[in-house]
């Protein structure tokens, strides 16, 4: 839906959240100003997969925003061997975040 949310803060503490049209907007705004996180998507090279040479992947959940470049560096260095199925873990605990990188497609 989207809404124009404003967060008032003082000394790193949230005083109020306004403009949200649902509880989800309030929660998002609070997280975004205190601990922003993102899902990272990319591809990883795969060998032995016939015509497909890369497999799409993503972090299984959000990672801290300040870790994104470290996550991408590890993804860039990674590789996989076919067969790989959607949901397979390609990198465990990427960049020490506690989050795995998983395949989002199949290469058989």
Q: Using 50, 70 and 90 to split pLDDT, how confident is the model at 1?
A: low
- Cross-strand partners of 13: 10
Give me the pLDDT at residue 92, please: 98
| Per-residue pLDDT reduced to its tens digit, 66-99 | 999 999 999 999 999 999 999 999 999 999 999 9
* CATH numbers and ranges of domains, the chain: 6-34 (no CATH), 38-103 (3.10.530.10)
Separation CA 10–CA 84 (nearest Å) = 49
Separation CA 49–CA 93 (nearest Å) = 25
Mean model confidence pLDDT for the chain: 95
DSSP state letters, 21-56: SSHHHHHHHHHHHHS-EE--EEEEEEES-TT--EEE
Q: Which of 83, 67, 59, 60 is nearest to 35 (CA)?
A: 67
Q: Give first-to-last CA distance, the chain, whole Å.
A: 38
**pLDDT exceeds 90 at position 52:** no
**pLDDT exceeds 80 at position 42:** yes
Is residue 63 within 8 Å of residue 73, measured between CB atoms? no
Separation CA 42–CA 44 (nearest Å) = 7
């Amino acid at each position: 839906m989207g809404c124009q949310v404003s967060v008032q803060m003082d000394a790193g503490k949230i005083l109020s959240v306004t403009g949200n049209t649902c509880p989800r907007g309030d929660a998002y705004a609070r997280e975004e100003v205190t601990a922003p996180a993102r899902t990272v998507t990319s591809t990883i090279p795969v060998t032995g997969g016939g015509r497909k040479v890369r497999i799409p992947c993503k972090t299984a959940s959000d990672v801290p925003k300040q870790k994104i470049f470290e996550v991408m560096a590890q993804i860039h260095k990674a590789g996989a061997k076919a067969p790989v199925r959607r949901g397979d873990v390609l990198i465990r605990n990427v960049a020490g975040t506690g989050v795995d990188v998983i395949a989002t497609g199949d290469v058989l």
